[in-house]
Structure 1
Amino acid sequence: MNSAREPRIAIVGAGLGGLTCARVLQRHGRSVTVFEREASADARPQGGTLDLHADTGQAALCSAGLLDRFHALARPEGDEWRVLDFATAAATAAPVAQQGPSTADPRPEIDRGQLRGLLLDSLTEGTVRWDRTVSAVTPLADGTCRLLLGDGTAEDFDLVVGADGAWSRVRPALSHAAPGYTGVTFVETGFDHCDTRHPDLARLVGNGSMLVKGAGRSLVAQRNSNGHIRAYIALRVPEDWHVAAGIDLDDQQAVRTYLLRMFDGWDESLRYILRSSDNGFISRPLFVLPAPHTWEHVPGVTLLGDAAHLMPPVGLGANLAMLDGSDLAHALVTGSSVDDAVRAYESIMLPRSIEAATGSAQGLDHLVPATAP
Structure 2
Amino acid sequence: MSECPDLNYRSADLHIVIIGAGLGGLCLAQGLQRRGISFDVYERDTAPDSRPQGFRIKIDQTGQQAIEACLPPALNALFRDSCAIPVDGVNLIGPDLEPVSDRWVASWQRAGGDDAPVGRVEDLNADRLAMRKVLLRGIEAHVHLGRGFTGYERNESGNAWRAKFDDGSTAEADVLVAADGVNSTLRALRLPGVAPVDTGSTCIYGKTLFTAATAAQIAPLFLARTSVAFADRFAVIVDPMKFRQPLGDYLYWGVIGPNDRLNPASDPRGHAHATVLSHTAGWHPGFRALFEGAEPSDVAMLPIRTMNAPPAWTSDGVTVLGDAIHVMSPAGGLGANTALHDAAMLAERLGTAAIKGTPVLAAVADYEAAMRDFAREAIRQSNDGAALLFGAVAAPASETAGLAKS
> Which residue of the other structure, out of 193, 198, 221, is the alignment partner of 1:181?
198
**Residues 132 and 257 of structure 1: CA distance in aligned 2, closer, same or farther (over 3 Å):** closer
Match of 2:239 in 1: 222
Match of 1:62 in 2: 68
Match of 1:152 in 2: 168
Which consecutive residues of structure 2, in runs of 5 or more, have no partner in the other structure?
1-7, 105-109, 243-247, 393-406
> Which residue of the other structure, out of 230, 241, 266, is the alignment partner of 2:263?
241
The letter for the 1-side match of 2:24 is G
Deviations 1:14-49 (A, max 9, x none): 111111111111111111000011112232343222
Match of 1:35 in 2: 42
**Residues 104 and 231 of structure 1: CA distance in aligned 2, closer, same or farther (over 3 Å):** same
Match of 2:18 in 1: 11
CA shift, 1:311, in A, is 0.6
Deviations 1:105-159 (A, max 9, x none): 2112221222211111132x41101111001233579463221211233333211
Match of 1:330 in 2: 348
Residue 287 in structure 1 maps to residue 287 in structure 2: no
| In 2, Cα distance between equivalents of 1:84 and 1:298 | 47
> Which residue of the other structure, out of 279, 285, 303, is the alignment partner of 1:268?
285
- SS in structure 1 opposite 2:53? coil
Match of 1:82 in 2: 91
Match of 1:360 in 2: 382
TM-score normalised by the chain length of structure 1? 0.86
CA shift, 1:76, in A, is 5.0
Kindly indicate whether the alpha-carbon contact (under 8 Å) linking 1:157 and 1:300 is maintained by their aligned counterparts in 2: no
**Residues 3 and 259 of structure 1: CA distance in aligned 2, closer, same or farther (over 3 Å):** closer
* Identical pairs, percent: 26
The letter for the 1-side match of 2:68 is C
Match of 1:231 in 2: 253
Match of 2:333 in 1: 315
- SS in structure 2 opposite 1:176? coil
| In 2, Cα distance between equivalents of 1:360 and 1:4 | 36
- State the aligned residue count: 359
- SS in structure 1 opposite 2:151? strand
Match of 1:133 in 2: 148
**Residues 79 and 59 of structure 1: CA distance in aligned 2, closer, same or farther (over 3 Å):** farther
- SS in structure 2 opposite 1:118? helix
| In 1, Cα distance between equivalents of 2:168 and 2:210 | 46
Match of 2:214 in 1: 197
Match of 1:209 in 2: 226
> Which residue of the other structure, out of 80, 99, 119, is the alignment partner of 2:135?
119
| In 2, Cα distance between equivalents of 1:309 and 1:250 | 25
- SS in structure 1 opposite 2:47? coil
Kindly indicate whether the alpha-carbon contact (under 8 Å) linking 1:188 and 1:282 is maintained by their aligned counterparts in 2: yes
Kindly indicate whether the alpha-carbon contact (under 8 Å) linking 1:293 and 1:308 is maintained by their aligned counterparts in 2: yes
Kindly indicate whether the alpha-carbon contact (under 8 Å) linking 1:195 and 1:202 is maintained by their aligned counterparts in 2: no
Out of 20-29 and 222-231, give the one that drifted further: 222-231
Match of 2:402 in 1: none
| In 1, Cα distance between equivalents of 2:219 and 2:153 | 51
Out of 338-347 and 228-237, give the one that drifted further: 228-237
**Residues 157 and 133 of structure 1: CA distance in aligned 2, closer, same or farther (over 3 Å):** same
CA shift, 1:331, in A, is 0.6
Kindly indicate whether the alpha-carbon contact (under 8 Å) linking 1:18 and 1:325 is maintained by their aligned counterparts in 2: yes
Deviations 1:285-304 (A, max 9, x none): 11112x12224123120001
The letter for the 2-side match of 1:22 is A
**Residues 113 and 207 of structure 1: CA distance in aligned 2, closer, same or farther (over 3 Å):** farther
Kindly indicate whether the alpha-carbon contact (under 8 Å) linking 2:91 and 2:99 is maintained by their aligned counterparts in 1: no
| Two-structure CA RMSD over aligned residues (Å) | 2.9
Deviations 1:263-320 (A, max 9, x none): 355333323334442334422111112x122241231200011112101113111111
Kindly indicate whether the alpha-carbon contact (under 8 Å) linking 2:10 and 2:360 is maintained by their aligned counterparts in 1: no
Deviations 1:231-252 (A, max 9, x none): 2222311599345xxx754655
TM-score normalised by the chain length of structure 2? 0.79
**Residues 122 and 46 of structure 1: CA distance in aligned 2, closer, same or farther (over 3 Å):** farther
| In 1, Cα distance between equivalents of 2:178 and 2:145 | 16
**Residues 193 and 268 of structure 1: CA distance in aligned 2, closer, same or farther (over 3 Å):** closer
| In 1, Cα distance between equivalents of 2:279 and 2:131 | 35
> Which residue of the other structure, out of 318, 322, 340, is the alignment partner of 2:362?
340
Deviations 1:168-192 (A, max 9, x none): 0111213422111112111223211
Match of 1:167 in 2: 183
The letter for the 1-side match of 2:195 is A
